[in-house]
C-alpha cells in the first residue's frame, strides 16, 4: 500500500471538509476522485499532499506522515498559481531548484508531447496553461501524483492531450489520483472510482466492476451523488 | 475502429471483441503484431491495466501470443473462419432476441432477412 487515510476528519471551523474518511491507495492504480463541488475532493488531495493536517485520524504516504513524504508527492493544484512572466524555461529552473526529483529531459519531452508554446504563462490560453502546469508536475519522479481538476474548463484538444499524457505516464510503482467533474470523458483512464458526497466516501469501486454490472462510472456517479 | 463505449460493459471485453472483429473482417491478420499495451492505452485513452487485462484474455483464448522481447502477436494458427462464424452466431442471437422481444416468430425473422437480400448483394459487390 502506498498511501492511506484512516478515519480522517478535517474540519473548517464548525464545518467538516471531510468526515471519517478511510481510503487506501495501492501502487499501480489510477484513481478517480469524484464528487460535486464542495464534496471534499480538494481537501482529500491536500491531506494526502501534506498541505492540510487532519483534525482527527491519520494520513500516511509511503509509511510516513505526508509532510515528511513531500519529496514523493507531486501535487497539481487547480488554481492558476504561476507568475505571468514565467516561461516554460523559467518554470524548469524553478522546479529544479525546488525538487531534486525533477527530470529536465522528461520535462522537455512532456512540453513537446503536450505542445506547450514557448511564451510567458500570462500569454497562454487556459488549456495551454493547464498543459504547462501538468508537464511541471509529471516531470517529477514521485510515487504519488495528486491532480486536482486537471481537465476542468479547458478546450477539447487540451483535454485529449492531457488524458493521453496521463495514460503514457502511468507507472506500476506509483499512484495517480485525479479529481474531476468530467466523469464521462475521463472514466476510461481510471482503475478505480472513489465517490465523495458532503465529505463522506459513498462508493469505492473498480471501474471495470461497475461496467460489468452494466453501469458506466458516470451512471454510478449519477446514482450515488445526485 | 475500436468503438469503445463506457455503457457497454467492461472495456477489456470490448478490446477483446474489437480484436476479434478486426480479425474477422480482415483488418487484422494472423501473424500481425499488436500495439504495445501502453500505446494502445494512450490511443484509446484507457487505463493500461485494462489493456493488459484484455491482452491476457486474448492470450488465454489462444488468439494472441507474447514473443519474448518482440511483443504480442496474433497467433498464426488462429481460426479466422471459425471466429467469423461465431461472431455471426452472436449477431444472429441478438437479432433473434430482438425479434422475440417484439413478440414475433422465427418465420417473421426469416422473412425480414430475405427481404434484405437485394441490399445484401449490392453491399457485397461494392465491398
Which of chain A's residues have a Cβ under 8 Å away from the Cβ of B41? 167, 170
Q: What is the distance in angstroms between the Cα of B32 and the nearest Cα belonging to chain A? A: 23
Q: pLDDT category, B122, cuts 50, 70, 90?
A: low
B11–A28 CB contact, under 8 Å: no
Looking at chain A, which residue has its C-alpha nearest residue B42? A164
Cβ of B6 and A163 within 8 Å? Answer: no
Concatenating the DSSP letter of every residue in B7-55 gives: TSS-HHHHHHHHHHHHHHTTSS-TTPBPPPHHHHHHHHT--HHHHHHHH
pTM (2 decimals)?
0.83
Is the pLDDT at B126 greater than 80? The verdict is: no
pLDDT of residue B3: 80
Instruction: Provide mean pLDDT across the span A186-193.
Output: 91
* Res. A37 pLDDT band, cuts 50 70 90: confident
Partners of A32 in the β-ladder: A178, A193
pLDDT over threshold 70, residue A38: yes
* Neighboring chain B residues of A190 at a CB cutoff of 8 Å: 47
Residue A97: is its pLDDT beyond 60?
yes
What's phi and psi for B47, nearest 5 deg? Answer: -65, 135
Give the model's pLDDT for residue B124. Answer: 47
In terms of phi and psi (left: phi > 0; alpha: psi -120 to 50; beta: otherwise), the region of B113 is: alpha
User: What integer pLDDT is reported at residue B123 of this predicted model?
Assistant: 52
Question: Nearest C-alpha of chain B: how many angstroms from A159?
Answer: 11
Indicate yes or no: CB of A211 within 8 angstroms of CB of B6: yes
A101–chain B nearest CA distance, Å? 24
Strand-pair category, A175-180 with A30-34? parallel
Instruction: Tell me which chain A residues have a C-beta less than 8 angstroms from the C-beta of B16.
Output: none
Asked whether the beta carbons of residue A167 and residue B46 sit closer than 8 angstroms, the reply is yes
Judge: B45–A217 Cβ closer than 8 Å, yes or no: no
Of A189, A211, A218, the CB nearest to B45: A189
Q: What is the mean pLDDT of residues A45-70?
A: 94
CA distances for A21 relative to A5, A93, B19, angstroms: 7, 38, 41
What pLDDT, on a 0 to 100 scale, did the predictor assign at position B125? Answer: 47
- Among the partner-chain residues B4, B11, B42, the one whose CB lies closest to the CB of A164 is B42
Looking at chain B, which residue has its C-alpha nearest residue A184? B6
Average pLDDT, chain A: 92
Tens-digit pLDDT profile for residues A121-139: 999 999 999 999 999 999 9
For residue B121, name the pLDDT band (cuts at 50, 70, 90).
low
Neighboring chain B residues of A168 at a CB cutoff of 8 Å: 38, 42
For cell 437479432, name the residue.
B95
Provide the shortest C-alpha distance from residue B28 to chain A (in Å).
Answer: 24
Q: pLDDT digits over B70-93, tens only?
A: 999 999 999 999 999 999 999 999
Of the ranges A33-47, A120-134, A154-168, which one carries the lowest mean pLDDT score? A154-168
Using a CB-CB cut-off of 8 Å, the residues of chain A touching B53 are: 208
Nearest 5°: phi and psi at B25? -95, 10
- Which pLDDT belongs to residue B7? 83
Amino acid at each position: 500500500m502506498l498511501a492511506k487515510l484512516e478515519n480522517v476528519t478535517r474540519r473548517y471551523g464548525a464545518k467538516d471538509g471531510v468526515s471519517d474518511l478511510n481510503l487506501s491507495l495501492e501502487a499501480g492504480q489510477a484513481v478517480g476522485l469524484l464528487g460535486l463541488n464542495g464534496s471534499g475532493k480538494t481537501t482529500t488531495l491536500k491531506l494526502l499532499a501534506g498541505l492540510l493536517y487532519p483534525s482527527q485520524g491519520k494520513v500516511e504516504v509511503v509509511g510516513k506522515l505526508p509532510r515528511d513524504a513531500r519529496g514523493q508527492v507531486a501535487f497539481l493544484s487547480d488554481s492558476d498559481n504561476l507568475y505571468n512572466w514565467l516561461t516554460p524555461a523559467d518554470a524548469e529552473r524553478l522546479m529544479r531548484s525546488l525538487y531534486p526529483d525533477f527530470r529536465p529531459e522528461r520535462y522537455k519531452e512532456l512540453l513537446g508531447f503536450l505542445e506547450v508554446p514557448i511564451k510567458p504563462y500570462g500569454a497562454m490560453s487556459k488549456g495551454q496553461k493547464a498543459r504547462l502546469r501538468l508537464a511541471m508536475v509529471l516531470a517529477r519522479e514521485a510515487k504519488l501524483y495528486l491532480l486536482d481538476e486537471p481537465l476542468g474548463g479547458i478546450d477539447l484538444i487540451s483535454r485529449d492531450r492531457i488524458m493521453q499524457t496521463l495514460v503514457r505516464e502511468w507507472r506500476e510503482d506509483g499512484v495517480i489520483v485525479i479529481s474531476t467533474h468530467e466523469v464521462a470523458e475521463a472514466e476510461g483512464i481510471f482503475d478505480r472510482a472513489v465517490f465523495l458526497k458532503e465529505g463522506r466516501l459513498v462508493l469505492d469501486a473498480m471501474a471495470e466492476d461497475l461496467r460489468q454490472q452494466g453501469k458506466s462510472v458516470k451512471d454510478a456517479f449519477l446514482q450515488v451523488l445526485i | 475502429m475500436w468503438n469503445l463505449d463506457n455503457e457497454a460493459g467492461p472495456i477489456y471485453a470490448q478490446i477483446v471483441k474489437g480484436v476479434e472483429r478486426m480479425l474477422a473482417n480482415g483488418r487484422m491478420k494472423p501473424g500481425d503484431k499488436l500495439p504495445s499495451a501502453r500505446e494502445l492505452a494512450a490511443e484509446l485513452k484507457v487505463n493500461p491495466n485494462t489493456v493488459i487485462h484484455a491482452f491476457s484474455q486474448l492470450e488465454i483464448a489462444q488468439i494472441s501470443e507474447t514473443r519474448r522481447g518482440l511483443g504480442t502477436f496474433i497467433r498464426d494458427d488462429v481460426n479466422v473462419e471459425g471466429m467469423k462464424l461465431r461472431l455471426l452466431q452472436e449477431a444472429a442471437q441478438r437479432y433473434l432476441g430482438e425479434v422475440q422481444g417484439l413478440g414475433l416468430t422465427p418465420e417473421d425473422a426469416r422473412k425480414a432477412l430475405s427481404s434484405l437480400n437485394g441490399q445484401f448483394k449490392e453491399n457485397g459487390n461494392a465491398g
